[in-house]
Structure 1
């Protein structure tokens, strides 16, 4: 007859083996799950890292574009300030040039002032030459058609030879700085004499 304790041991031994086999299988599935979770976490972190890199690159590009715009705006503002200053300064000099020219015109009527006239004429021409290097140009429209953008009609004279609206005389020269009008030319226009029937 078999010893009941041996059966217990066998039964226990067998049951121990089965539980050992099950625990080995569950250890593998747990390890597989852990590996899968670890891989998921790594993929999530990698996706987040790529997202952060894209955000940083976009921020860098925006900041770089803003910096370029600021540089361009600063250059444009500096050029505008220089142009405004130049326009104001040259505009302030125009009445002085007019005064020199009127003085020269009057002085040239006297023979004894001839040497002074020549000297002042040279100085006036030199001043106009220097200002022309900065973009100043004279509007002297005598014998041209009237242009309201650049001329200012102050009177009319009747003429048999000329059509209406031709500049007969320039009373005061006009000036442009580059393409900007500083002062229109003051002119006298022709007015055709109407023939009476």
Structure 2
């Protein structure tokens, strides 16, 4: 084989050797180069199954805790409401109890004062009876002083006499014992007081026993 033949064979071997080329560029069907897709900057990392499970459990725990807190708030609100209602009821019960005790005490005092009035009546009657006997002047003054002290003691606890003589007859305050003929200006008025009436606060201990004037008609006078 001549030298020329060797050269031809070497050239054939060279053509048969292909060098692999890794061209990462992309081309479309027209042979035009296409820009590569940029890598996403904020791409979320792929999470493992365990991470997903932990996140699910954490979310469930947070929801459970929030539900428990909401329930606790509701229970606290109901407790506060019940406490407020109980305090109000207790205050009202205490007020009713105090009023009941005060009413009982007032009624007891009222009843006691009623029993004392006849004693005062007797003292006043003794004074009136002694007016006709000068020898009883000293005794009369002593009894009169006792009666006045008695009246002052009653006044100190809130007992007041009922005004009668010269006032219009009031069935709420007076008890008519009898009637007497009077002039027109005294018609319907109290002419005489047989026993004094008394009141205790806004309550009447007893009415005054009185004589009431009755004006005669003109025809009766003629």
Query: C-alpha separation between the residues in 1 aligned to 2:95 and 2:187?
Result: 49
1:108 Cα shift?
2.3
**Alignment size in residue pairs:** 176
The equivalent residue for 1:87 is 110
Q: TM-score, normalised by structure 2?
A: 0.74
1:107 Cα shift?
1.7
CA contact (8 A) 1:162 1:190 kept: no
List gaps (5 residues or longer) in structure 2.
Answer: 1-45
1:161 Cα shift?
5.3
Matching of residues 55-70 of structure 1 within 5 Å: 55-70=78-93
Matching of residues 113-192 of structure 1 within 5 Å: 113-160=136-183, 162-192=185-215
Measured on the aligned residues, the alpha-carbon RMSD in Å equals 1.8
Question: Equivalent residue of 2:218, what SS?
Answer: coil
Structure of higher CA gyration radius: 2
Query: C-alpha separation between the residues in 2 aligned to 1:161 and 1:56?
Result: 74
Structure 1 moving runs of 4+ over 3 Å: none
1:129 Cα shift?
0.4
Q: Deviations over 1:121-168 (max 9, x none)?
A: 111111110111111111131011111110111111111353420111
- The alpha-carbon distance between structure 1 residues 41 and 177, as it changes in their structure 2 partners (threshold 3 A), is same
Query: C-alpha separation between the residues in 1 aligned to 2:58 and 2:112?
Result: 80
Query: C-alpha separation between the residues in 2 aligned to 1:26 and 1:84?
Result: 86
Which residue of the other structure, out of 62, 78, 100, is the alignment partner of 2:101? 78
